[in-house]
Amino acid sequence: MFGLKRDWTVTLPERYFTFEDYEGGEARWCPGCGDHAILTAVQRICRDEQLPPEQVVSVSGIGCSSRFPHYMGTYGFHGLHGRALPVAAGVKARRPELKVWVATGDGDCCSIGAGHWIHAIRYNMDMTVMLFDNAIYGLTKKQTSPTSPKGLSTNTHPRGAWLPPLNPTQATLGFTNVSFVAQTVDWNPVHLHATLKKAYEHKGLSFVRILQRCPTYTDKVFDDLQSDPRKILVLEHERGVPVDPALDRVFPTRQAHDPSDMGAARALAARDDVFAIGLLFQDESCPRYEDFTRRGLDMSVDDKLAGLDAALDRFAL
């Protein structure tokens, strides 16, 4: 080009991904649903990390949250109710290089999927698991879920839920080989993004419980936390979730917490006077199951056939 100075030229990468590269179909969640914020945070992380869309997989079960793969411009698997985690584990076992995001709800994970939840934590395969906790079965129209607060009126308990709710964070901290547990809220996108980014960077299974608003069925369930920000306890530590200075005015209640202290993490998860957000626990030394399942992935077809023949020969007469 005439008059163009040489030092003005810019060398662009062979492939550069924009936010739009991670957008799938138009999200059909209700206006005001917290799922929108979670989707945006994940797409932003993928963009910032410049992850090739074909190297990203989002996996889900059944529920409002589980529509997540449809709205990501990546590979996705919309599975059966409660079965998101075994599907994700299968993907990671045979394609360990892929970046796996799991979207599951409080009903999908903590009820019908509870058995898979326990063992997925124990397997500790490298994936980011996001528990969208809105304390209700939303997609099937307002039934009591495992995390519904006692007394909440639902279609299955019109006079109020009878039992105290399950605490997913407290439960997860009791599972064998747990390596990463964090909490955040959908109505603060700064902390939500920072928490999911910290989870993505962890090598192992990252379990992130997200308090997620349902404007249709549980629009009041988190009112106490939203109306009184002092009830949100922000955890601070040099190895924890980075806390943006802008949150000082939003969430004034702070506490230093070492994420290697399991006892302190369990105590924080059990508190009902405040809701702790940030990194509760992390242990990067926990074994990861894909380190074992990846064995043999480099075998040729001939080697696999020879191994199969050798195994079958043992049963030949």
Amino acid in position 76: G
| Angle, helix 114-123 to helix 84-94, in steps of 10 degrees | 30
Q: How far is residue 66's CA from residue 81's CA, in Å, rounded to a whole number?
A: 9
Give the model's pLDDT for residue 316. 82
Here the tokens at position 165 are: 């709710």
Answer yes or no: are the C-beta atoms of 87 and 104 closer than 8 Å.
no
Mean pLDDT value across residues 300-314: 89
Q: How far is residue 204's CA from residue 201's CA, in Å, rounded to a whole number?
A: 9
Percent of the chain with pLDDT over 90: 85
Here the tokens at position 283 are: 């242990």
Answer yes or no: are the C-beta atoms of 268 and 262 closer than 8 Å.
no
Q: How far is residue 103's CA from residue 274's CA, in Å, rounded to a whole number?
A: 25
Residue with tokens 């380190």: 291
Give 295 or 261, the one with higher predicted confidence: 261
Write down the domain spans for the chain: 13-287
Give the model's pLDDT for residue 185. 98
Pick from 216, 52, 69: which is nearest to 130 by CA? 69
Q: How far apart are the first and last CA of the chain?
A: 79
Q: 63-90, pLDDT tens digit by residue?
A: 999 999 999 999 999 999 999 999 999 9
Read off the pLDDT band of 247 (50, 70, 90). Answer: confident
The H or E element that residue 74 is part of is none
Give the model's pLDDT for residue 1. 45
Read off the pLDDT band of 126 (50, 70, 90). Answer: very high
Q: Is the pLDDT of residue 232 over 70?
A: yes
Q: Is the pLDDT of residue 30 over 70?
A: yes
What count of Cα atoms within 13 Å lies in the side-chain half-sphere of residue 81?
9
Tell me which DSSP letter residue 108 carries. Answer: I
CATH of the domain spanning 13-287, picked from 3.40.50.970, 3.40.50.20, 3.30.70.20, 1.20.1560.10: 3.40.50.970
Amino acid in position 306: A
Give the model's pLDDT for residue 12. 61
